[in-house]
Structure 1
Amino acid sequence: MRTRRPALPVMLTVVAITLLGAAACSSGESSADTGSCTAPGVDPSRINLGVIFPDTGAESSFFAGVRAGIDARLGAANAAGGVHGRKITYEWRDDQSDRRRNSIAADSLVGGRNVFGVIETTFGSPGGADALSRANMPVTGVAIEPDWLTHRNMFSFAYTASDPVDTHGRFVRSRGGTRAVIVHTDLSAGASFTAGQYARSLRAAGVQVVDDLSYTAGADTPESFAARVAASDPDAIVSVMNQADFIQILRALRAAGHDPKVILAISGYDQQLLRKSGPAMAGVSVPLFYRPFEAGGPAIGRYLDAMRHFAPQVLEPRQDTAMLSYISADMFVRGLELAGPCPSGQRVIDALHAVTRYDADGLIAPINIRDGYAKPTTCYDYVQVNSAGTAFGPGETRLCGAALTP
């Protein structure tokens, strides 16, 4: 019986697969033998990450839900079998939003040689950015400091530290705001920087910034600070401070007979906080990078399910910082998936830089990391507390502005 030769395309495919397999084995990172992977924090059964955030300190209330969001996303990934058969674990460090402490935290994670990469959201990130970059560690988080723009190993789905945008100013103006006071904490360079970004946004939209006031809890009282705000006679207030202090100031301001037409706060989208302080939060608007919880849909459903199963310590999962860190963790998981069964820091970095469409499984509007890396976020959704202080509702859906170049 005559034997048939394999068709030429089949032969070429077999040769190609053989050569690729040989190349992988010769590199010491065989896709068939995950035990040979030698990257820090990687072993045959797990990948260990580092997490840096302010668990304590003056700014800790900004970031109260960080670990819960990470627990939820990594828990869901592990329940589905992990990434290429490995579970994802992490160890965490508290930097108190302080650059020196952030540097210490980064050095400890790098020096231990037991961490593959880092998820962080903090005003202190410039402290450890160089160390993480030198170690070629991929980093994901929310880019609220300028170091995210200059370190190619650091990835975010929202850049607020690059060129300011006029979007927030447009929102304030559309609601009737013409004279604004910006209030922020006096204990953070990051908060001061963000306040400056909002000031430029307001001015670009034709809103006059009549004062910029810094608040120090313990030294200032809500009543005395509210009097300073009222002295400028604003019809708009922009808050770059923790929710608890701002709510007290807002309560004191209204008790003195001053009720601004527009109130914009960078944080406070939290159902538990609303139940506690609802009437005092009436009229407050918050800008979002992601799909509002009230919009519902499959993506929000998956997030809520993951929070309930893997972060049960959080009684109310509909909170801003938990969602932000959930998406940050999702971005890291995406990088690991794309890097293949034998990941290295460089492979994850290269893989994420090549992504042209990332939407966090439907939680954010699609972004192009390849072409839009480090470019400012110009489109936001705004939610607003109703007049009774009982619920969040849509303030403005998908408002887009323009970047403001120097």
Structure 2
Amino acid sequence: MRRCSRLAPALALLAAATLTGCASHEAKAAGCVSPGVTPNEVRIGLLYPDSGVLAPTFSSSRAGIDARIGLANERGGVHGRKIVYDWQDDRGTADANSQGARTLVERQNVFGVIESSFSASGSAQYLADRGVPVTGIATENIWSHYRNMFSFSYTDGNAVDTFGTFVHNRGGKRVLLVQAALSASVSELTSKYDQSIRAAGLDLAGILSYSSQADNPAETARRIAESGADTVIFLIQPPDYLQVLSALRGAGRLPGLVMAVTGYDRQLLETAGAQMAGLVIPVFYRPFELGGAAVETYEKAVTRFAPQIPQAQHDFALMSYVDTDMFIRGLETAGPCPTRRAFIDGLRSVTDYDADGLIAPIDIAHGLGRTTNCYSFVQVNPTGTAFDVVDRDRCGREITP
């Protein structure tokens, strides 16, 4: 009996320790229970237009995502978890974007979403209501309304005079804008360029709408020439503006300065360089031609993990790469047992994000909705064989109402 009484305290201590250890382990496991998170992986979602009229523009988006995720997984993932992703085709419409988000969240159980899309407004409220973290391209005003949505470049705030001052410094005086027909998001962008031009003291010759499915390139070229504009800015995608550029060249009536919002793509240059000669494109990240460690890392990652595109130097591939890098930064800040709320709180506290040098440093903590005002401008050389950086890190001012 005495021996039993001496053993009892020891057994009690052992039992208590065992129970405490189990409770601690269970508490830790419970803390890691989050949508899309397992001990070995974290699953995220992608919304982008794989079909529809915008599909060619976003065709390289998945390459940038594959490259950045491949690089992260090669380095051990995030807190030891491999990153995997599912995607849904939003067809470039708000309705399909909304349905795609619901599929990713409710059926595929993703932790968060990357939006490589112009139609994020379709899912914004739904994702915000559920506290789902989102990174992506901020082309609509909804991006500055929700704390769960993150972008490294905003266009939905006040307009900036950067584009107007660039045109002014290149000798432009009268500017014509060519926008996509029936596009609300592009109409917002047109308004920003209109304000930028006027703020620089330039004359707006007019605004034309163009659709390759409905309009004649030669007729549009004639209207551009008759406007008297010495500068034309295309707020449409390369397949469309290349038609108009070809018609202008054929008629010998190309304006002195031609700019487009997209088209910084080496592959496009290889197929349409002669038509693009002289074209200027503004970019809000480090131009590939400047080189450096950040560009080299990006290009090697695309080559290794995204062989589906022949050229790494593509604007939407790089943008989606940065969107994914920002998402990974959020996972890192969320800690070893990530929750959606920890992700949002953690990333929203970052003040020095630069995608390892691919973009100018931004203050995520205080920059929600702040319009990007610093751009570099690249121009296709006269032979249509390469891009040249003609204006680096031009920063303007916000235009207040």
1:101 to 82, 92, 96: 96
Correspondence list, 1:66-85, <5 A = 66-85=61-80
Correspondence list, 1:242-391, <5 A = 242-391=237-386
- Aligned: 1:150 with 2:145: yes
Query: Normalised by the size of structure 1, how large is the TM-score?
Result: 0.91
- 1:381-400: per-residue Cα shift (whole Å, max 9, x none)? 11111111111001210000
Number of positions where the alignment pairs a residue of Structure 1 with one of Structure 2? 380
- Could you say if the C-alpha distance between residues 113 and 280 of structure 1 is closer, same or farther in structure 2, counting changes exceeding 3 Å? closer
SS of the counterpart of 1:286?
A: strand
Is the contact between residue 177 and residue 236 of structure 1 (CA under 8 Å) also seen in structure 2? Answer: yes
Superposition deviation, residue 197 in structure 1: 1.2
Q: Mind listing any 5+ residue stretches in structure 2 that lack a counterpart?
A: 1-19
- Could you say if the C-alpha distance between residues 26 and 184 of structure 1 is closer, same or farther in structure 2, counting changes exceeding 3 Å? farther
Q: Mind listing any 5+ residue stretches in structure 1 that lack a counterpart?
A: 1-21
Is the contact between residue 143 and residue 150 of structure 2 (CA under 8 Å) also seen in structure 1? Answer: yes
Task: Give the distance between the partners of 2:201 and 2:149, measured in 1 at CA.
Answer: 34
SS of the counterpart of 1:264?
A: strand
Aligned residue identity for 2:266: Q
- Aligned: 1:179 with 2:174: yes
SS of the counterpart of 2:85?
A: strand
- 1:173-212: per-residue Cα shift (whole Å, max 9, x none)? 1111111111121142112221121111111111211111
Task: Give the distance between the partners of 1:360 and 1:261, measured in 2 at CA.
Answer: 36
- Could you say if the C-alpha distance between residues 229 and 29 of structure 1 is closer, same or farther in structure 2, counting changes exceeding 3 Å? farther
Superposition deviation, residue 26 in structure 1: 7.3
Runs of 4+ deviating beyond 3 Å:
25-29
Superposition deviation, residue 282 in structure 1: 1.0
- Aligned: 1:195 with 2:190: yes
Is the contact between residue 235 and residue 261 of structure 1 (CA under 8 Å) also seen in structure 2? Answer: yes
* Percent identity over paired residues: 47
Query: Normalised by the size of structure 2, how large is the TM-score?
Result: 0.92
Task: Give the distance between the partners of 2:59 and 2:127, measured in 1 at CA.
Answer: 24
* 1:88 match: 83
- 1:38-96: per-residue Cα shift (whole Å, max 9, x none)? 11111111111110111111122221211100000001001111101111111111112
Task: Give the distance between the partners of 1:27 and 1:45, measured in 2 at CA.
Answer: 17
Is the contact between residue 211 and residue 240 of structure 2 (CA under 8 Å) also seen in structure 1? Answer: no
Mean Cα deviation higher: 52-61 or 138-147: 52-61
Task: Give the distance between the partners of 1:369 and 1:26, measured in 2 at CA.
Answer: 35
Q: CA RMSD in A?
A: 1.6
Task: Give the distance between the partners of 1:62 and 1:28, measured in 2 at CA.
Answer: 48
Mean Cα deviation higher: 312-321 or 195-204: 195-204
Is the contact between residue 115 and residue 134 of structure 2 (CA under 8 Å) also seen in structure 1? Answer: yes
SS of the counterpart of 1:213?
A: strand
Task: Give the distance between the partners of 1:43 and 1:276, measured in 2 at CA.
Answer: 45
- 1:203-233: per-residue Cα shift (whole Å, max 9, x none)? 1111211111111222112111111211212
Superposition deviation, residue 121 in structure 1: 2.2
SS of the counterpart of 1:238?
A: strand
Aligned residue identity for 2:238: Q
Task: Give the distance between the partners of 1:209 and 1:29, measured in 2 at CA.
Answer: 64
- Could you say if the C-alpha distance between residues 95 and 28 of structure 1 is closer, same or farther in structure 2, counting changes exceeding 3 Å? farther
- Could you say if the C-alpha distance between residues 28 and 360 of structure 1 is closer, same or farther in structure 2, counting changes exceeding 3 Å? farther
Task: Give the distance between the partners of 1:182 and 1:278, measured in 2 at CA.
Answer: 22
SS of the counterpart of 1:92?
A: strand
2:232 to 226, 231, 237: 237
Aligned residue identity for 1:269: Y
- 1:351-380: per-residue Cα shift (whole Å, max 9, x none)? 111101011011111111112222111111
* 2:200 match: 205
